[in-house]
Each structure stands twice: as C-alpha cells, then as structure tokens.
Structure 1
Amino acid sequence: MPIRLMHYVACFYDHLLKGNETTPGRGLPPILPIVLYNGSAPWTAEQDIYAMVHPEPPGFLRVYQPHLRYYLIDEGRYTDDQLGSRETPLSGVFSVENAGQSWEALQQAVDRVVAIIQAAPHKERTDRIITRWMKRHLQRLGAEVNLDQLNSLVEDKDMLAENLENLVKKERMEGRQEGRQEGVESTLRKLVILKFGDIPGWAESCLEQASDTQLDIWVANILTADSLDELFKG
C-alpha cells in the first residue's frame, strides 16, 4: 500500500505538469493521501514507505530515502459507541458496513442511518447518495430485498424495514435450528461415550454428517443398541 500511494501521488503530479495545471516554477500542491479500509482482518501494512526499507540504512543514506505517509481510516476499529456519538452520514455508513453478515445488526444500523439522513441539512442529496450506495451494499450481501423499489431510504424506509425484519426472523430461525442440532449431537456423543467408550473415526464422521432426523433416531435407539455397528450402521 505505501508503494501504491507513492505511485498515485507521482502520477497525479505528472498529470498536473503534463496538463499545464502547474509548472515546476509555480510548485506542486500539497497532498493528503488517505486510505479508507473496511476489511474484517486487522490492517497490517506499514503507513510510511520508509518503514519498508530494510535493513536500516546508515546515517548518511537516510536523508536520501523516500518518505510518504498516508492517513488510515480503519472502519472496523470504531466501536458502536464511538460511531453513535458522531451523528454524521459517514458514521452511519460505517455502522452499516461494520454490521457484517448479521441481518439484525444491519437492521439497527439502517434505522440509525435513516434518522441521520432525516436530520441532515442537505437531506435530499444525502438520501440520494446513500440510497445508491446502500443498494449496492445490499446486493453484495445477497439480501433478499426488492432493490428496484428502493429509491429513497427516507421515503421507502417502511418497505426496507419490513424486508430486513423478514431477514432477521429467518436468521433467528436458522440460528435456533443450528443450536438445536448441535445440542442433540452433543447429547448423543456423550451417551455413546458413556455406553461404548471412545468414538472411532468412522462413527465420528457419521455424527458430523447426520441430519436432524437421523440424530433423533440414534438418540432413541442407543438404549437398545448393543454395539456402535448396530447403532450407526443398522
């Protein structure tokens, strides 16, 4: 990233000079390089290209080494409380992106960004820009929302809220189902160990691949089964 930013700055200055926007005599404008990062993994790249120079050059060479530092905005480092204390459209966008794949967290973040837009001084323009971005964001997430009908987060907030609420209900239902299956599998595993001892690899595979129905059958049959073969292969 430091090398890329240095390349961008050099290309920008070259563009200004070739387009006669300025001359070497008039000088080059100052630049603030900014990196906006919204990835889930922690940011690890150096923030100054000089930090990439290894080994440390001797004193007489240091003055000739390149230096370019960029300003990093790492969305994931902002907590919900920090974002909540900044009632700006950008903090609302950060909240939506930080919600990740949780429909419930996304629903709350969307409600917050709608309230921010309604209080914005340039409400119509802000609404138009963020709505366009939101549609792309929901599309990337694979949200089952009719995006063709979403033209304004403010005017269509009820429609969007209803769609997100349906996704939240689906998310909770899938979570409960997954939790139930894990609970049944855990119980069966304990019963098998108590009755037959250590679980061999082939039986472990059976447990991991079993459906809800199959797990229920095994739980009912373990009381009468005389061996693992009879339980799992019968």
Structure 2
Amino acid sequence: MTDLLDPTNDYVFKRLFADAPDLLVDLINDLRPDLPNITSVEVLNPTIEASELTGKYIILDVLARDGEGHCYNVEVQVRRYGAWHKRGLFYLARTLGLQLGSGEDYQELRASVGLHLLDFDLFMETAAERAQAVWRFEMRDERQPDVTLGNILQMNLIEK
C-alpha cells in the first residue's frame, strides 16, 4: 500500500486544485451560499515556480476566478502564527484592488473571497464554549450587524 501525499503541504494543495478544478468548484460552492453556484473556475496561478519552493512560503496557494469574475484566494495553514490573518487580509484586499484598471467603473468590482483551511483552532479562548468550526467575516457595522457594505470582501475560515 502506498502512502497518500499530505494535502496540507503547500505544493500538494496547489497541485490538487490546479489539476482537479472540479474539487475547487465544490469547495467554493459549499463555502459561499449567498452567491449563485458556479460551474467552473479558472486557476490563475496553476504552476509553482522553483523560487516559491525555496522561498519562505508559496504566495496565494490557489488564486482562482469564476465565470462571473469573483476572485478566490484559497489557502491551507498548518501552523498558527501571529500575523497570518493580516497576511490573509492583505491578499484579500490586493485581489480586490487588482480587479480594476485605471478609469474602470467601480460597479465592475466582483467579490474577493478568502477561503482559509486551518489545521488548528484559531479562536482557542472560545473553543470550549462553542461548537463552531466555520467562520465568515464581512464588512458590517459594529452596533448594527444587519447593516452591511455587502459581501464584496469576505474571509471564510475553516478550523480543524
């Protein structure tokens, strides 16, 4: 019997979705119920450059776009470290900012969605009090959470 490759390895993770985009479509559809189901995605960074393998980490494990233009940054994170969420937010904002060129209408912006698969519990201080492993963050008013700026920026976290 042969051992399977570890899907939390950056190289294996990226190759898995680049080689089997239908799996990525299923993951995205399961995690963004407020948007219409997609039928296909274009993986925008299917190859792994040699410099990425020797660098600190692979930037944007999987960057994809669906037929409506919504962008997805799909990452796996196996180690908990202090600034990972800031990096994720930076990538999310960057995928939104890179959608438009000079003079293009802001109405053309599509959702930028971060999908982060975490191999740890991020919110450990509340882990005993909750049975929640899937988190979704959007732009909302602090005092009136029903007042929202829409779902154009959203960060989805799936904890271990």
Q: With the length of structure 1 as denominator, give the TM-score of the two structures.
A: 0.23
Q: Which has the larger radius of gyration?
A: 1
Higher-strand-fraction structure: 2
Higher relative contact order (CA 8 A, sep 6+): 2
TM-score normalised according to structure 2 size: 0.30
More helix, by proportion: 1
